[in-house]
Amino acid sequence: MIFQVIGAIIGAAILYALTSTDQALAGGTLTGANSFGDHGVVVGLIAETVLTCIFVLVVLGTTDAKKGAGNFAGLAIGLSLVLIHLVGIHYTGTSVNPARSIGPAIFEGGQALSDLWVFIVAPFAGAALAAGIWKVIGCDCKE
C-alpha cells in the first residue's frame, strides 16, 4: 500500500509538472484528482462503493483457483476496470483505489483534499462488501 501511494504521488507530480505550465493540457483538474463536484457526497460514496465492489468481485471471480478465468484473468480485470472508469468518471472521476486518489489530492489541494476521505472510505467499504458477497455466494463453502 505504501508503494502504491508513493507511485500515485510521483504520477501526480509528473501530471502537475506537465499541466501547470499549460493549463490547456488538463482535461479536468491539473493532477487527475477525484471529485464528486455538484453531485454531492452521497453520490460520491455510493458510486465509489458500488464500483469498487464490482471491481473486487471481478478480481475474486477471475482469479479463483477452481472457477477463475485462468490465463485470461488479467484481460477480464483490465477490461472491467476500463468499464468501471467509463461508468464512474462522470460522477467522481473514478478512483476505486485510495492510493490513486491520495497522490493527486496532495498536489491539487483545496477541495480535492477535503473530499479525499470519500475516496479512501468508499473503496474500503466496497472491498469489504465484495468480500462478504464472495464469502456468501462466490466461494465453494465445503472447504
Q: Could you report the per-residue pLDDT of 20-69, keeping only the tens digit for each?
A: 766 655 555 666 778 887 788 999 999 999 999 999 999 999 998 888 88
Can you say whether residue 93 is alpha, beta or left, with left for phi > 0 and alpha for psi between -120 and 50 degrees? Answer: left
Look up residue 35 and give its amino acid.
Answer: S
What is the pTM (predicted TM-score) of this model? 0.81
Domains and CATH numbers, the chain: 2-138 (1.20.1080.10)
Integer Cα distance of 93 and 109 in angstroms: 16
Residues 1 and 72: their CA atoms lie apart, in Å, by 25
